Structure 1
Amino acid sequence: MGIYDREYYREEGIRLQPDWNGKSAISYLLILNIAFYIANVLFSQSEVFTSANQGIVNNALKLTAGDAGRPWLWWHTLSYAFAHDATDVWHLVFNMVGLYFLGRSVEDRYGKWEFLRIYLIAAITCGILWLLKAVAWSLPEKSSLLGASGAVICIEMLFVLNFPKQTVVLFVFPVPAWVLGVFLVLFNLMFRPSTGIAV
């Protein structure tokens, strides 16, 4: 928990950091992700989206294997997390639903600022790890990564670790949160490593 989010600081009325008008960090993350997705669609109306051409906004934000040799583009190790697959709106939907429903309890536990730090550090870490993999496996320079999946899964796993016995719905079955954690790990190990979606 961030020191300024702790109860004793709030009771004394000390506000050393802005409160973002009472909105949660999750609200702002949802707004940013959805806004970037809509902007990408609006500014790329004449384009046909493919895995190689993700639209004007996504092409500017995505992390590519070629970025490893271009230090001036290392900011892509964060920006990719705000660009979602233009060919599949469900990529955005599933990430934001997971962030909203499981992230709220995590934000309540850690506080707004600490939650945001964790989320952003997770996104950057996933970006750096993917870039290292791209170099180690000699992926083509145009291979790319986009999406908040890595950061969202980090938040989901924090939920699982903090609330392992909490009941959640996995598909249509109510299960303890730790079962969701096992499912997420297995799913990502078995089905996601070869995609350009952030994990």
Structure 2
Amino acid sequence: MSLIDKIKYKFKTGSIIEKLIYINIGVFAFTLLITVLQGLYKGQTGFVIQWFSLDDNFSNLLTKPWTIVSYGFLHSGFIHLLFNMIGLYFIGNLFIQYFTQKQALNFYILGTVFGGIFYLFSQNYFPLFEGNSSRLVGASAGVSAIFIGLATYMPNYQINIRFIGFVKVWHLAAIWLAFDLIGLIGPNAGGSFSHLGGALFGFLYVNQASNKKIDLLGSLFSLFKRKEKPLQTVYKSKNKKASPKTKAPNQKQIDAILDKISKSGYDTLTKAEKEFLFKQGKK
């Protein structure tokens, strides 16, 4: 199997998070190749960036409407790409443990859109940016939407970080947002505004859905409507019975423990709960 075939196979069989990472890397490589070729022929450099990044001028959005999404797949350099893809890999894979892959894609795309809207608003409203011209690129707004959405849904879930120990998701989200708030007057202020736009989308949608099924692509306006179906998660208990109206005491205890695991992690269980779950698993 050739390298190209291996890449095709990995892309075909990978999760939506892996597909997004492959697409971002592929777009970066293509952009780099085009830039090098244009430079060799003394052509105009940055052709891809000019046509697919998000310009700070509202009028340019009317002529290039796709840029409100396409900017989320472009990066200004290798380090920029690397950090965004590392964040997307770890946060995204945790997200799809509890939500569907379609929901992950929707959060990424719509978080990118909201981030772009916040960027445009900031560049055209605040005096700080008067007389300046900029373009927005990067996957950070989409990653922020996924991360803050996850932290809103299960804030007390604990992640084991090497050399630090267990840290709650909401603590990490607070640090994430703090850096963006500080960056609002920094050299990458436009990027920080876009990150906060994506984060706000993730928070508002999960908070509004509040244990209700997420169907993002149905309508953007559904952000402000209450859903009728429960928020869908990927995890399902193998021990769940056919659909009895009254659950046995053991089943109720199992469900309570599984719910605790989904929200806070297995390591938060007491010794008695772990032993009970182990004994039930052997039956």
Give the structure-1-normalised TM-score.
0.75
Q: Which residue is 1:129 aligned to? A: 118
Q: Which residue is 1:178 aligned to? A: 170
User: 1:110–1:182: structure 2 CA closer, same or farther, 3 Å change rule?
Assistant: same
Residue 144 (1) aligns with residue 129 (2): no
1:136-183 residue CA offsets vs partner (Å, 9 max, x unmatched): 136447311110111111111123223433333668523222210110
Aligned counterpart for 1:98 among listed residues 73, 76, 87? 87
Distance 1:62 1:193 in 2: 22
Q: Is the 8 A contact 2:51 2:64 kept in 1?
A: no
Distance 1:36 1:64 in 2: 19
Q: Which residue is 1:69 aligned to? A: 59
Q: Which residue is 2:96 aligned to? A: 107
Largest Rg, 1 or 2:
2
Q: Which residue is 2:29 aligned to? A: 38
Residue 56 (1) aligns with residue 47 (2): yes
1:89-137 residue CA offsets vs partner (Å, 9 max, x unmatched): 2211111111111111212322111221121011011111211222213
Greater relative CO (CA pairs within 8 A, separation 6+)? 1
User: 1:169–1:148: structure 2 CA closer, same or farther, 3 Å change rule?
Assistant: farther
Q: 3-state SS of the aligned residue for 1:168? A: strand
More deviation in 176-185 or 157-166?
157-166
Structure 2 runs not aligned, ≥5 long: 1-10, 196-283
CA RMSD between the two structures? 2.6
Q: How many residues align?
A: 173
More deviation in 155-164 or 125-134?
155-164
Q: Is the 8 A contact 2:24 2:74 kept in 1?
A: yes
- 2:177 maps to a residue whose letter is V
Q: Which residue is 1:25 aligned to? A: 16
Structure 1 runs not aligned, ≥5 long: 1-19
User: 1:45–1:122: structure 2 CA closer, same or farther, 3 Å change rule?
Assistant: same
Distance 1:83 1:117 in 2: 18
Q: Which runs of 4+ in 1 moved over 4 A?
A: 138-141, 169-172
- 2:70 maps to a residue whose letter is S
1:6-47 residue CA offsets vs partner (Å, 9 max, x unmatched): xxxxxxxxxxxxxx9543111111011111111111111267
Distance 1:170 1:136 in 2: 40
More deviation in 104-113 or 76-85?
104-113
Q: Is the 8 A contact 1:62 1:83 kept in 2?
A: yes
Q: Is the 8 A contact 1:164 1:177 kept in 2?
A: yes
Give the structure-2-normalised TM-score.
0.55
